Homo-oligomer: A and B are copies of this chain.
Amino acid sequence: MINVDATLPKEAFVIPHHYYDDVESVLIPHGLILNRIEKVAQDIANDAQGPLVACCVLKGASVFYADLMNALRKAQTPDRKSIPFSYEFMKVKSYENDKSTGNVQISLSEDELKSYKGKHLLIVEDIVDTGRTMVALLERLKQYEPASVKVVSMLVKRTPESNGYVPDYFGFSVPDYFVVGYGLDYNEYFREMEHICIISDVGKVKYAV
């Protein structure tokens, strides 16, 4: 786990032309993300108790998911074997209703969810902010009786809005900045940028809906 606080000057990095004015600074450069992912994958491999069902939470985690799966492919368990894993993709929407504190809508069918019984799930998320979505998702998945559920998040935000939930594995702990890039979007923009950056006021206005 790496605590990131200081920002880096955008002039020192290759930023796509079309986003240059739309970001304030670089928070986490792409190369650092990849290096950290290698270690996170190794940690996951060390703890794995069998084949994993690796579930990508679309769309924000898609870039992180791809690089994490690539690293997991190379990682070895303590007895020097490779980890079998399968690919799953889901959209997750959390909402509140009168009856409980949180609920989630998952874009998988009942049959697909039931197939998780007895399996080891690895939920791959881009950012844990308030923690509400993840807590509600874990609550819901419990009903399908997986053997285990672990969560790996690329980022965890340090925010007073947090419900205290901390994922099993995460890449970086960051302050409450408005981050974009490496899969993280602002109205569907910025996902294709390789570094995690802080959006600028120009960017917030340009891509507002």
Contacts and interface: CB of A to CB of B under 8 A. Distances in A.
Interface of A: 16-18, 58-59, 62-63, 65-67, 69-70, 72-73, 81-82, 84-89, 107, 183, 188-189, 191-194
A18 B189 CA distance: 39
A120 to B, nearest CB: 14
A87 B16 contact: no
Question: Across chains A and B, which 8 residue pairs bring their CB atoms closest together, nearest first?
Answer: A66-B66, A16-B82, A18-B84, A86-B188, A87-B191, A17-B81, A85-B192, A59-B87
B62 A66 contact: yes
11 contacts: A16-B73, A16-B82, A18-B82, A18-B84, A59-B88, A62-B87, A63-B66, A70-B194, A86-B191, A89-B89, A107-B107
Contact of A87 (B82, B87, B192): B192
A175 B58 CA distance: 34
